[in-house]
Amino acid sequence: MTESWATFGADLHLDLSAGRGLRAGLTEALREAARSGRLAPGTRLPSSRSLAVDLGIARNTVAEAYGELVAEGWLTARHGSGTRVAERAVPRRPARAARVRPPARRGPAYSFVPGSPDLGGFPRTAWSAAARKALAAAPNDAFGYAVDARGRIELREALAGYLARARGVDADPDRIVLCAGFAHGLTLLARTLRARRVREVAVEGWSLDVHRDLLTGAGLRTRPLWLDGAGARTEDLTAASGAVLLTPAHQFPTGVALTPGRRAAAVDWARTTGGLILEDDYDGEFRYDRQPVGALQGLDPDRVVYLGTASKSLAPGLRTGWMVVPAGLVDEVLAAKGHTDWMSGAPDQLTLAEFIRSGAYDRHVRSMRLRYRRRRDALVEALAPRTAVTVSGIAAGLHAVLDLPAGTERPLIQAAAWHDLALEGLSRFRHPDSAMPARDALVLGYGTPSESAWSGALAALEATLP
């Protein structure tokens, strides 16, 4: 069999100088590579036949160049060992200008900043088992370019069954569109709304500024709704708002659930005006002291877009989210998505589908629900002696709201930094146009610390509070 450079197992870049003979050019190129250290001492070179085939020159030309360099001491040739670069001191390359690197930034040792689960709780073993099974059964087309912009049918079918069973969602696989997390889904919906000539989206008076910025970045105004103990005041919705973004199961960040009357008011508004409800069910699986609050989407699947992700139940690093879209809106959402395949890779989609079908997802959620409930109870117990503060929004989710005496929110956040603790204030989430009165409070993400850091984070919080 003819030997070729392709079978040698290494690549060798040689620049044969133009205008010189082939042998002289090859000899000089090899000499310079050895002299500069680009070919390290001891490196085995390809056989003369392999290199000749690769360069498209005669084998004798390579053999003569090798021989000359052996004679000069640049190479060695021994029977059974091949031709190698001779052992010699390699000159240092000219020193480059020193690169000035900024000092490494060290974050606080502990954090109660909301928005993250305990990343150490990711079910690595169960996920690996699901991945092995999913990959073994994966069709070949799973490793090609995506054909269906909605995502893999295997995951859409698994999600349809799970969401109907666990969250009361009216889900059909054909109406599920996979995306790369909530922000991506909201971006697609914002484009869809703009294409429909919607100009304003109502949002909750306390809400994530990142989500509001995505809407305004798409050219949409945001109008804040008043929030109280019954959730967003949906009876204040008007025809001017073509859509409303809600967190009805567990309002972020206040933690209240939207009452049945206000749920009905939102759906009535959507039916009457042709508006659209965007439902962010970001942590619906985690509840403790109450019956599960079903998805608002179940009241009217034709007027509600249901959005969920694996970010809180598993990990945000999976970059996996989903939208259950009204039938008449699917094509418009896919048009907004365009040809960009922004979603998790097909292997991860297949793995999550297997994870759900096998029951591992339910087991993981139950396990983490117990872990977070224990943390919540420990937090409430630790704060109980402090009569100046009150805890609320703790019936579900991964965070609690700690109401403070007036004027103490910012000083406490600054004091926490001295205890190597990161905290987030409620004021950070207030819509700038909201007429609601100011409220000093902390939003404590008790899901954020790792198991090993939990006791230290709780101690730092106790040391911070008066």
Per-residue model confidence (pLDDT) at position 339: 67
Per-residue model confidence (pLDDT) at position 340: 62
Q: Which CATH number fits domain 363-464: 3.90.1150.10, 2.40.10.120, 3.10.20.30, 3.30.70.141?
A: 3.90.1150.10
| Six token digits for residue 162 | 């799970």
Q: Do domains 5-85 and 122-360 have the same CATH topology?
A: no
Record: fold of 122-360 = Aspartate Aminotransferase; domain 2 (3.40.640)
| Six token digits for residue 194 | 């703009």
Dist. CA 191–CA 340, nearest whole Å: 14
Closest CA to 343 of 177, 191, 218: 177
Dist. CA 226–CA 261, nearest whole Å: 15
Contact indicator for 309, 166 with CB cutoff of 8 Å: no
Please give the full DSSP string across 291-348, using - where no structure is assigned.
-----GGGG-TTTEEEEEESTTTT-GGG--EEEE--GGGHHHHHHHHTT---S--HHH
Record: fold of 5-85 = Arc Repressor Mutant, subunit A (1.10.10)
Q: Where are the domains of the chain?
A: 5-85, 122-360, 363-464
Contact indicator for 224, 203 with CB cutoff of 8 Å: yes
Dist. CA 202–CA 179, nearest whole Å: 23
Dist. CA 152–CA 150, nearest whole Å: 7
Closest CA to 409 of 466, 458, 457: 466
**pLDDT tens-digit readout, 307-326:** 999 999 999 999 999 999 99
Per-residue model confidence (pLDDT) at position 50: 85
Per-residue CA distances from 166 to 159, 163, 169, 218, 298 (Å): 10, 5, 8, 33, 12
Per-residue CA distances from 13 to 5, 38, 55, 92, 246 (Å): 12, 10, 10, 21, 60
Per-residue pLDDT of the chain (466 residues; tens, 9 = 90+): 444 434 444 567 777 765 567 888 888 888 988 888 888 898 888 888 888 888 888 889 889 999 899 888 899 988 877 899 998 765 555 555 555 555 555 689 999 999 999 999 999 999 999 999 999 999 999 999 888 999 999 999 999 999 999 999 999 999 999 999 999 999 999 999 999 999 999 999 999 999 999 999 999 999 999 999 999 999 999 988 999 999 999 999 999 999 999 999 999 999 999 999 999 999 989 989 877 788 999 999 999 999 999 999 999 999 999 999 999 999 999 999 886 666 789 999 999 999 999 999 999 999 999 999 999 999 999 999 998 899 999 999 999 999 999 999 999 999 999 999 999 999 999 999 999 999 999 999 999 999 999 999 999 999 999 8
